[in-house]
Amino acid sequence: QVQLVESGGGLVQPGGSLRLSCATSGFTFSNYVMSWYRQAPGKERELVASITSSGGSTNYADSVKGRFTISRDNAKNTVFLQMNNLKPEDTAVYYCKAASWRVIWGQGTQVTVSS
CA distance 34 to 36: 7
Q: What is Dmax (Cα atoms) for the chain?
A: 42
- Distance separating alpha carbons of residues 11 and 14, to the nearest angstrom: 10
H-helix or E-strand containing 23? strand 18-25
Place 8 in a pLDDT band, splitting at 50, 70 and 90: very high
How would you classify the pairing of strands 109-113 and 10-12?
Answer: parallel
Confidence category of residue 17, pLDDT binned at 50, 70, 90: very high
Give the DSSP H or E segment for 38.
Answer: strand 33-39
Q: What does each C-alpha distance from 68 to 2, 28, 71, 74, 86 come to in angstroms?
A: 27, 26, 10, 20, 9
Mean pLDDT of the chain, nearest integer:
97
At residue 83 the predicted structure's pLDDT band, cuts being 50, 70 and 90, is very high
- Cα 15 to chain center, whole Å? 19
Per-residue pLDDT tens for 19-32? 999 999 999 999 99
Q: For 40-57, what is each residue's pLDDT tens digit?
A: 999 999 999 999 999 999
